[in-house]
Amino acid sequence: MKIISYNVNGIRAALSKGFLTWAKASNADIICLQETKAQKEQLDLSLFQELYPYNYWFSAEKKGYSGVAILSKIKPNKVVYGTGIEYMDFEGRNLRADFDNFSVMSMYLPSGTNGDRLDLKLKYMDDFQGYINQLKKEIPNLIIGGDYNICHQAIDIHDPIRNANVSGFLPVEREWLDNFMKSGFIDSFRVFNQNPHQYSWWSYRANARNNNKGWRIDYNLVSKPLKDKLKNAYILPEAKHSDHCPVVVEIDNN
């Protein structure tokens, strides 16, 4: 079972850059999208139907902003839009699909780099932790794929010294992500790859991507009961439909 998480930074823009051709070649069973920046009615859903007959979209109320989606070849038993926490759901940041042996969530955590958004991000992080603590009691086999907008450790960012006071690498953010993992999740990528210079996002400025001056802020976090089901996890930096790239986890679904 191949599951991909991908912040597309606008699904309509990604489609114009060959997203569907890439998706077909990826042979993923499930793709979690973040930052779709589109209302469902703005999309020609028939474009997705052949590859992913089960596709679900949860948009922000504000047009052209945020939004998450799940594309699946397998019909889920249940789809849950949002968390029930109003200010989170208002921005279209959480979508979950429940299957027989596991559940997959597409999650887009806010950036804290704009104005007073850091306070909102920190509040979201705390409330999300509480929500997941309860959800795990009901659904122990959970995969949360998404853009967390946080680098976990110095190995996950190209310049940890200069970025030490930048949102996305602040001590308070890193501590939260560390505690979130310790609450029962595994960073699937680091199970299989401990090498530095492995990133999932690059600024559009200063030729950052070509120089691989990036950040690893996209994760497939897998709950600990699924640990023995992990088969592989990796990043696909050659996919260039966005300033992010896809991150992949493969699990045994038997």
User: Residue 213 sits in which domain range?
Assistant: 2-251
* pLDDT tens column, 65-79: 999 999 999 999 999
Tokens of 51: 């590859």
Q: Above 80 in pLDDT, residue 114?
A: no
Distance CA 34, CA 31 (A): 10
> Terminal CA-to-CA distance of the chain, rounded, Å?
9
- Return phi, psi of residue 89, to 5°: -70, -30
Tokens of 93: 């940041």
Tokens of 60: 């922000």
Residue located via tokens 């996950």: 156
Q: How much is the mean pLDDT over the chain?
A: 97
CATH code of the domain in which 94 resides? 3.60.10.10
Task: Provide the annotated active-site residues.
Answer: 147
Residue 172: left if φ>0, alpha if ψ -120 to 50, beta else—which one?
alpha
**Domains in the chain: how many in total?**
1
Residue located via tokens 């967390």: 148
* pLDDT tens column, 181-204: 999 999 999 999 999 999 999 999
Q: Above 80 in pLDDT, residue 176?
A: yes
Distance CA 173, CA 181 (A): 13
Tokens of 233: 């996890």
Does this model's pTM top 0.85? My answer is yes
